[in-house]
Structure 1
Amino acid sequence: MKHLFIIIFIFSYFWSSAQNIKTYTYAIKGLDTLKMDVYTPENIKEADSLPVVVWMHGGGFSGGSRAGKDETNIANFATSKNYIGISISYRLLRKGAKTGFGCKCSKKNKLFTFNQGVLDFLDATQFIYDNSDRLNVDTSKIIAAGSSAGAEIILHTVFMKRFFLSTETAYENINYAAAISFSGAILNSDDITTDNAIPTVLFHGTEDTTVPFKTAPHHNCQPNKTGFMMLDGSHTIAEKLKELETPYYFNIVKGGHHDVANVHINDLDDIFYFLDKTVKKNEVIQITKYTSPKPTNY
């Protein structure tokens, strides 16, 4: 046991010392000060311009943190692959709400929450654009990523941005090179077109009743519930990307539930291999992989 502890300590030390972390405020909205943690490889040179993974945590728009376990794991792993890793906070508009974000939350409030989340993610991206030299970021290689609520937001941002914007010119300079979604969905996959289709990583459990795997009601709400709202899940999105001959990596967790939103270290090699091939080398890869649910103590 003593030797195991030493091995884990050494591994953790070298991984944590392989990057630098700085925190920036990217927006202040009312009482919310929105920050981002920027993870940079320790050996980065001043003139370097690296691809960046911008991560949005989950939590049902009422919880979660930019410094959670999944968030730090993926940001640290990104630096080990010579990417910048960024984890952002955003407004948790359903925090303390009696209706939560399920079937008692009205469709109107759900759409408003999506809308504001998209604006927060765009504001974070705009900050990255405006400070790309200081952050050593290649703005042509920004990868939008998230889990659960965060995945819903980043998918709506990359594929349905115009649906949520009040003017055509707002954030018109912002584009994304790829997307990573753990248990996410969008309102309408028909909004994915040849103009906005990008390489996409999708993880989803086939038995997810919170965010649908295919096309189904959000939170499995019945049509008579105020929160009834149809969403297109990962399976529907992957079918659309396949039709458009756009790269995708779709990990189908057979029998998996919404906990597939959790990020596991052993999946990250495959994700970054896909990003290296599609974002850095512009290769067209379409992969569907079937896996089993991982143990809760994984």
Structure 2
Amino acid sequence: MKKLFALLALFTITLTNAQDFKTLTYFVNDSTKLELDLFLPKTKSAENLPLLIHVHGGGFAGGQRQDGYTVCREAAKNGYAAATISYTLYMKGKKFSCDGILTEKVKAFRIAANQLWQATLFFIKNSEKYNIDTDKIFISGSSAGAETVLHAAFWDRDLMALYHEKLSNDFKYAGMISGSGAIMDINLITEKNLIPVMFFHGSCDPTVPYGTAAHHLCPTDSSGWLMLFGSYSIYNKIIELNGNTQLFTYCNGGHEYSAELFIQPEETVKFISQVLAGEKMQAHTIISTGKTCKRNTYSFCD
């Protein structure tokens, strides 16, 4: 009898923990096989679904697509399709800080952005199979993932393409959510390629600058010196262009906030819903962390 109860308990646990996603291969070549986990709403829809594609963080050296499960589950619960992707961790075993090699850093950004483009192409090609509305594809990312989505949205895809099959420069993502991310050239963002963007970032981030500064705050004679434009700088650029944007600032917070609104994903899903509803958003939400920062230069965080 005890064995029977144990088996029943195990069966119940198995059902409770049953996978609520499909693992799919989105890209294969001679040296690389990349997978994603796709979450779909439990209730089937007669209409095509908006899609969120999430890119995990980890300095292009670590992290895993499972890090995106919380935000993907929340999106699916609200009637959207959502996928979290694996990508090549090019910086694994390499130096990504001040003593690294600049060209290797840029290559890591480029590989990840190209692989996000391939994931996007996968869903465009399979839109009927998975009931995806290809005009409503959103992207999100934390830290390295945020740097990936920012460059994927604004880079010239013909110039930066690494693979034979390219995502057209005419394609525009419906919107983006960036957690503690930055872009290498703010001039990449123009009226023509502008999309709605929600940012969240700690104002005292020593890894990825909140404003405009070197990656890891490296001194200018560093081999890995790379200027980056962070969330606050990009937010102001989009405001200047009269674009659609929100910024959540964690005052005096560091890089530990890079996944905050994916771990607590309600604001992320709310942003997607607002974009789909055609709402105009230009808002800066300042959040107290109770922390102090010796480098604080933002009066709104005093």
TM-score, structure 1 normalization: 0.86
Alignment of 1:179-198 (within 5 A): 179-198=176-195
1:139 partnered with 2:134: yes
1:66 partnered with 2:61: no
Contact 1:143 1:176 in 2 (8 A): yes
Contact 2:261 2:267 in 1 (8 A): no
State the Cα distance separating 1:28 from its structure 2 match: 2.1
Contact 2:111 2:162 in 1 (8 A): no
The answer for the alignment partner of 1:160 in structure 2 is 155
Structure 2 vs 1, CA of residues 14 and 175 (structure 1 numbering), >3 Å: closer, same or farther?
A: farther
Contact 2:70 2:263 in 1 (8 A): no
Answer with 1 or 2: which has the greater Rg: 2
The answer for the alignment partner of 1:283 in structure 2 is 279
Gaps of at least 5 residues in structure 1 are 1-11
| Counterpart AA for 2:116 | F
Structure 2 vs 1, CA of residues 194 and 175 (structure 1 numbering), >3 Å: closer, same or farther?
A: same
State the Cα distance separating 1:14 from its structure 2 match: 11
Q: Aligned equivalents of 1:79 and 1:293: distance in 2? A: 30
Q: In the TM superposition, what whole-angstrom CA distance separates every residue of 1:157-176 from its partner, at most 9, and x where no partner exists?
A: 10124452379x93215320
The answer for the alignment partner of 2:90 in structure 1 is 93
State the Cα distance separating 1:190 from its structure 2 match: 1.4
Structure 2 vs 1, CA of residues 189 and 265 (structure 1 numbering), >3 Å: closer, same or farther?
A: closer
Contact 2:114 2:162 in 1 (8 A): no
The answer for the alignment partner of 2:166 in structure 1 is 170
The answer for the alignment partner of 2:51 in structure 1 is 52
Q: Which moved more, 1:135-144 or 1:285-294?
A: 285-294
The answer for the alignment partner of 2:120 in structure 1 is 125
Gaps of at least 5 residues in structure 2 are 1-12, 292-302
Q: In the TM superposition, what whole-angstrom CA distance separates every residue of 1:17-54 from its partner, at most 9, and x where no partner exists?
A: 8x941111011245432001000011113x43111110
The answer for the alignment partner of 2:38 in structure 1 is 38
Contact 1:199 1:248 in 2 (8 A): yes
Three-state SS of the structure 2 residue aligned to 1:289 is strand
State the Cα distance separating 1:210 from its structure 2 match: 0.5
Q: Aligned equivalents of 2:262 and 2:225: distance in 1? A: 35
| Percent of residue pairs bearing the same amino acid type | 33
RMSD: 2.6
State the Cα distance separating 1:283 from its structure 2 match: 2.0
Contact 1:16 1:76 in 2 (8 A): no
| Counterpart AA for 1:164 | M
How many residues are matched? 277
Q: In the TM superposition, what whole-angstrom CA distance separates every residue of 1:44-101 from its partner, at most 9, and x where no partner exists?
A: 13x4311111000000111100012xx110000001111111000000011122x2x1
| Counterpart AA for 1:82 | G
| Counterpart AA for 1:288 | H
Structure 2 vs 1, CA of residues 225 and 272 (structure 1 numbering), >3 Å: closer, same or farther?
A: same
Contact 1:128 1:137 in 2 (8 A): yes
The answer for the alignment partner of 1:23 in structure 2 is 23
Contact 1:118 1:164 in 2 (8 A): no
State the Cα distance separating 1:137 from its structure 2 match: 1.1
Structure 2 vs 1, CA of residues 51 and 294 (structure 1 numbering), >3 Å: closer, same or farther?
A: farther
Three-state SS of the structure 2 residue aligned to 1:93 is coil
The answer for the alignment partner of 2:249 in structure 1 is 252
Q: In the TM superposition, what whole-angstrom CA distance separates every residue of 1:245-292 from its partner, at most 9, and x where no partner exists?
A: 1111100000110011123468522232222122x1222111100113
Q: Aligned equivalents of 1:216 and 1:15: distance in 2? A: 47
TM-score, structure 2 normalization: 0.85
Contact 2:58 2:143 in 1 (8 A): yes
Three-state SS of the structure 1 residue aligned to 2:279 is coil
